[in-house]
Structure 1
Amino acid sequence: MKITKPVAAALLTGIITDTLGFRTSNTTPDALRQAATLMESGVDMPEIYMRALVNKSFPAARYWGAGLSSLQSRNGVVWGTLTLEDRKSAGYGGNDDADLINMISAIDGNKVGMVFVEQSDNHVKISWRALEAGLDVSQIAKHFKGGGHAAAAGADIEGALQNIQQEVLAKTFEMLNL
């Protein structure tokens, strides 16, 4: 099957985003070889990288600011919170974290990164990232009927942000023995 340039761009976007720009443990020699093969079809990897991982809209950057100003840290866990009011104030149109979890994951000296995102339907989306080898955050997400893998997981829990946050943080500390 011939891979056209648009298909190659889509596949390379998937590889770049899944490896966070070739920074995660799923960056293998095979993934790098596949990326090189896709580039040979004429796609512009730096452009795809910038579009997929770096470029943010002004409202997304303001939303990040709200999340970053909410950061807390305890026992090797760092977390941020994004409220409905933050979203409205920033003018951010999505209901996600605008990839804030990846910024939180870049904070040195922590074992787990988390973000809590309040939803308009009395739900809270939670993302976990294991920042230390050997930790498995997927088990915490599964406890809350979510999913993922050892290094990255998420859940969507019904309830008020403050209550959910307390419950999820307590379970995270308990399950990771932190």
Structure 2
Amino acid sequence: MNEDVSSEASAIDEALLAGLRNSRHVLCVSHVAPDGDALGSLTGMGHIMRRLGATTTLALQDETPAELKFLPGAADIVGPKQITDAYDLIICLDASSVDRMGHIYRSEAHAHIPLFVIDHHITNTRFGHINWVAPDCAATCQMLVYLVDSLGLPLDETLATCLLTGLVTDTLCFRTSNTNARVMEAAMRLMSAGANLSDITARALNRRSFNLFKLWGLVLPTVQLDEGVIWVHVRRAQTKAAGMTTGDVQLSSMLITANEADISAVFLEKVAENGGPAVECSFRARPGFNVGEVAFELGGGGHPPASGCTIQGTIEEVAPRVVELLKQARRKGLAAS
């Protein structure tokens, strides 16, 4: 029987806390295409578990984005080839479903190992043995602030830097609609512990590669807008021409700033594991509109204002169908307002 625990520090389930304290060989993993909250919570959890005396492995399927390599512990992250089955606990952070761990988690090798899920996505499928899911938190890193309290550990500069990075990136530096007093209180505590807000913001949000600008120059002329939905296609040939190999194309949050748009979408051409075509979809929405439901319906996940999914097929097959769903979501939001 899986077990859920609440978001408040005082109410974090003792089974979760005991499992963390008693484990000695731990694998920590976050989601594919990692962002700041994934990296911040992963490295932060690594520091927490090492303080508890555990030998800890940090793992990601995909490469750490260049702008997040400054995080303490990021250099220690390993890929799928370094993963064994010799763990007594697996901790999954900031991932809403088991497939989001990519090739790090293999059911044939790891199903016998206790799996703890710590996540803030409302669409989380509760796939762990113990699931701590807190949609009221703006970031998984915010949850770890409360976890540190429950474990009786102090916040130091190293841990605070990891956790503040997740808060800063998931809230776009405290500008998203889920930024509330509790978020700011958590950020204040992390800053008091030594995390440098201006440095984190500069590194994680305000640094971009020249190749990314080249990619924007190729794809933005094709942007489309209809019925309050703005979207763009990003082709593999364009990413190759721009010299991009991995990483977020960082267009979703830009497109939603258009005055005429309530919902944005980026359709990124990919190759599926079976070698066929696939499209990685990234959605954003203004307050009052819910793209989380759309992503969940399409097999993905996220939050009402920010979500995503990956769909088998070509952009020509996928994008029109998804855009229509986004238009329906916008109409639903308008009707409810």
The TM-score with structure 1 as length reference comes to 0.92
**Equivalent residue pairs, number:** 176
Q: Does the 8 Å CA contact 1:97/1:115 hold for their aligned counterparts?
A: no
Give, in whole Å, the separation in 1 of the partners of 2:168 and 2:324.
Answer: 33
SS at match of 1:80: strand
Structure 2 counterpart of 1:28: 180
Verify: 1:173 aligned to 2:324, yes or no. Answer: no
Give, in whole Å, the separation in 2 of the partners of 1:25 and 1:175.
Answer: 18
Q: Does the 8 Å CA contact 1:67/1:100 hold for their aligned counterparts?
A: no
Residue 161 of structure 1, CA deviation: 1.1
Give, in whole Å, the separation in 2 of the partners of 1:110 and 1:151.
Answer: 13
Give RMSD over aligned pairs: 1.5
Residue 27 of structure 1, CA deviation: 0.8
Verify: 1:137 aligned to 2:291, yes or no. Answer: yes
Give, in whole Å, the separation in 1 of the partners of 2:232 and 2:240.
Answer: 17
Residue 34 of structure 1, CA deviation: 1.5
Structure 2 counterpart of 1:85: 237
Q: Does the 8 Å CA contact 2:282/2:309 hold for their aligned counterparts?
A: yes
SS at match of 1:78: strand
Structure 2 counterpart of 1:160: 314
Alignment of 1:99-138 (within 5 A): 99-121=250-272, 122-131=277-286, 133-138=287-292
Structure 2 counterpart of 1:61: 213
Q: Does the 8 Å CA contact 1:82/1:97 hold for their aligned counterparts?
A: no
Aligned amino acid, residue 174 of structure 1: Q
Aligned amino acid, residue 76 of structure 1: G
SS at match of 1:127: strand
Q: Does the 8 Å CA contact 2:263/2:326 hold for their aligned counterparts?
A: no
SS at match of 1:42: coil
Give, in whole Å, the separation in 2 of the partners of 1:97 and 1:104.
Answer: 14
Structure 1 counterpart of 2:227: 75
SS at match of 1:123: strand
Q: Does the 8 Å CA contact 2:285/2:305 hold for their aligned counterparts?
A: yes
Give, in whole Å, the separation in 2 of the partners of 1:49 and 1:32.
Answer: 15
SS at match of 1:61: helix
Residue 175 of structure 1, CA deviation: 4.0
1:35-57: CA deviation from partner (whole Å, max 9, x where unpaired):
12211222221110111112101
1:117-173: CA deviation from partner (whole Å, max 9, x where unpaired):
000231101111112x22111121122111111111111000011111111112222
Larger gyration radius, structure 1 or structure 2: 2
Which one of the candidate residues 184, 187, 192 is aligned to 1:40? 192
Give identity over the alignment, percent.
32
Q: Does the 8 Å CA contact 2:252/2:265 hold for their aligned counterparts?
A: yes
SS at match of 2:260: coil
Structure 2 counterpart of 1:17: 169
Give, in whole Å, the separation in 2 of the partners of 1:149 and 1:139.
Answer: 8
Per mean C-alpha deviation after superposition, the further-off stretch among 13-22 and 97-106 is: 97-106
Which one of the candidate residues 305, 320, 331 is aligned to 1:151? 305
Give, in whole Å, the separation in 1 of the partners of 2:189 and 2:330.
Answer: 40
1:91-127: CA deviation from partner (whole Å, max 9, x where unpaired):
0111x54221111122223110111100023110111
Structure 1 counterpart of 2:18: none
Give, in whole Å, the separation in 2 of the partners of 1:17 and 1:39.
Answer: 15
Aligned amino acid, residue 262 of structure 2: K
SS at match of 1:107: coil
